[in-house]
Structure 1
Amino acid sequence: MNAFQRHGITHLSASSVNLFVAQPALWCASYLLGKRTAVGPAAHRGTAIECGVEAGLFDPDMPLEDCQAKALAKFHSLTRLSADPRIEKEREAIEPTVAIALNELRQYGVPHKPDGERQHKISYMVEGVPVPVWGYLDFEFEQHGIIVDLKSTLRIPSEISAAHARQGAIYAGPGGNWQVRFAYASPKKISVYALENVEQHLRDFVSAAQAIERLLELSDDGEKLTRCLAPDLTSFYWGDASARALAHEIWGPSPDSAPPAVTAAVNE
């Protein structure tokens, strides 16, 4: 058994590897100790917007208002039991973002549905990584050879982030046969960027995956490995109350345990 398998890790994904790069302590808590934290309203906003945009792309005759209603209903279902004060701000962004994203992406046509499923799962071996790599494609426009990944944000970035570039390199598939585009949509505008230098970003992914493997090779004791790292509680990754409670549980109380000033980040 390789180091991943000894720790019960059967596959990797871009989100897993990106979490390790950004917050290795949280990665260990999540994947070695099985302690997952709740996501905040910004993530739920992204899920809701994707729901509305997906409905409008696969049914090009669906009225915009119906797509927006689906998005709002999804957001409500995800947040109805939460008292997070950020919910209202995130809800306000949903309808205009759905409208802007659909106006742009409906130009691509109707996405392909492999095996009848709207979201396409990919799984394949990447050289240098001993376990399969999984991914889920948002919108696969087979007629154009383009994969579009929708990112909901309140602020449009000027370029594809390093984390998203690693994600896109996985989505491009073996040999990079598909062009991957990231559509960053906000309530005011949308910017679509095509991923370049796919091979380099794939090498970056492999390098990060191998760093995880080297860590796991040090011990079969997941708790010991987790305690070798310390959480950065100033990061938005630890902004949710459940995440801070988890940090307290594993590493004990910290003077930095107060919630950071969280701004809405691009949803993964």
Structure 2
Amino acid sequence: MANAFERHGLDHLSASSINLFVAQPAMWAMQKLLRRKSSVGPAAHRGTAIEAGVEMGLFDPAVSVEACQDLAVARFNQLTALSSDPAVQKERVNIAPAVAIALAELRQYGIPEAAEGNRQHRIEVLLPGVPVPFIGWLDFWFPARGIIVDLKTQGRLSSKISDPHARQGAIYHAAHGNNEIRFAYVTPQKIGVYRLEDPRTHIARVVSIARSIERFLSLSDDGAELTAALSPDLDSFYWNDPGSRAAAQEIWGLAPEAAPQA
């Protein structure tokens, strides 16, 4: 007999999936059960662009920082070419300095190991009590040092690893238990690198969330019915995307609202 995940066409989980379920269960249901996707804004594209520039510089130590910055800005311009969001320009100017700061720190680790056909390593791990695997991708793995580094971009530097990121790191640790997990938080001004402590505590929370999702899915085989049982918090930044807000208005019968101010 198919488990609750399989009955809803879900064959795996991820750190982003469980974290979204905790933060915004209505959006999780909209995306995973009704297959209504959400667009991301300039801040997310900034992160993608910075990671591309840093990746280039780490895997090829001979390439200049300026070339890495140029690639990152070009990637951002490509991702935001059709965007009318006024935040695009604000995010663009943060890219080059963040790339330089991240490379100055992370090049000290050496050259990461590249996966076959892809620089990032795919992980897939089954956790006790969860019937579907967790899938994810490692940003930078330095096996000679026994360190996995995940790069996060921010406007203001965190002083510690956030709980959602700790859950992500715990999943990585479950897949590669002999490695230390570190998170590198980079801003246009500075970088902070923090080691994940006590991954067992965080993996227990991961399993607890996964079981909560399973219990929720077990309530009905009708994804629309489950989604309707929840209600979106449109004041949250998660719903800033106009397409997501329009979908929420359609799904939950909400009156049209003005888009949030940037």
Shorter-chain TM-score tier: over 0.9
CA contact (8 A) 1:45 1:75 kept: yes
Query: Which secondary structure state, in structure 1, belongs to the residue aligned with residue 129 of structure 2?
Result: coil
**CA shift for structure 1 position 115:** 2.0
1:53 aligns with 2:54: yes
Q: Give the alignment's Cα RMSD to 1 decimal.
A: 1.2
Could you list the per-position Cα deviations for residues 82-136 of structure 1 after superposition, in whole angstroms to 9, with x for gaps in the alignment? 1111100010100000000000000000001132420110012111110011010
Which SS does the other structure have where 1:122 is aligned? strand
Equivalent residue, structure 1, for 2:106 = 105
1:85 to 2:89 alignment? no
Question: 1:266 matched to which residue of 2?
Answer: none
The Cα of 1:175 is off from its aligned counterpart by: 7.0
CA–CA distance in 1 between the matches of 2:43 and 2:188? 13
Alignment of 1:68 onto 2:48: no
> Amino acid of the residue matched to residue 143 of structure 2?
E
Equivalence for 1:241: 242
Deviation at 1:163, TM superposition (A): 0.3
Preserved contact between residue 169 and residue 176 of structure 1 (Cα < 8 Å): no
Aligned position for 2:153: 152
Closer/same/farther in 2, CA of residues 94 and 114 from structure 1, 3 Å limit:
same
Instruction: Give yes or no for contact 2:123–2:175 (8 Å, CA) kept in 1.
Output: no
- Rounded Cα–Cα distance in structure 1 between residues aligned with 2:121 and 2:21: 24
Distance 1:188 1:127 in 2: 41
Misfit runs of 4+, over 3 Å? 257-262
Partner SS for 1:128: coil
CA distance, structure 2, for counterparts of residue 133 and residue 109 of structure 1: 28
- State the SS of the aligned residue for 2:116: helix
Shift of 1:261: 5.0
Amino acid at match of 1:86: A
- 2:31 is aligned with 1:30: yes
Residue 44 of structure 1: aligned partner: 45
**Structure-2 change in CA distance of 1:86 and 1:175 (3 Å):** closer
Are residues 1:191 and 2:192 paired?
yes
Identity of aligned residues (%): 59
Per-residue CA deviations over 1:154-208 (Å, capped at 9, x if unaligned) read 1111111100000000111347321100000000000000000100100000100
2:145 is the alignment partner of 1:168: no
Kindly tell me the number of residue pairs found equivalent between the two proteins. 261
Q: Give me the whole-angstrom Cα distance separating, in 2, the residues matched to 1:109 and 1:242.
A: 42
Where does the alignment leave 5 or more consecutive residues of structure 1 unmatched?
263-268
User: Aligned pair 1:129/2:130, yes or no?
Assistant: yes
Query: Secondary structure of 2:226's match?
Result: helix
Residues 176 and 198 in structure 1, CA contact (< 8 A), matched pair in contact too: no
Q: Distance in 2 between matches of 1:174 and 1:45?
A: 28
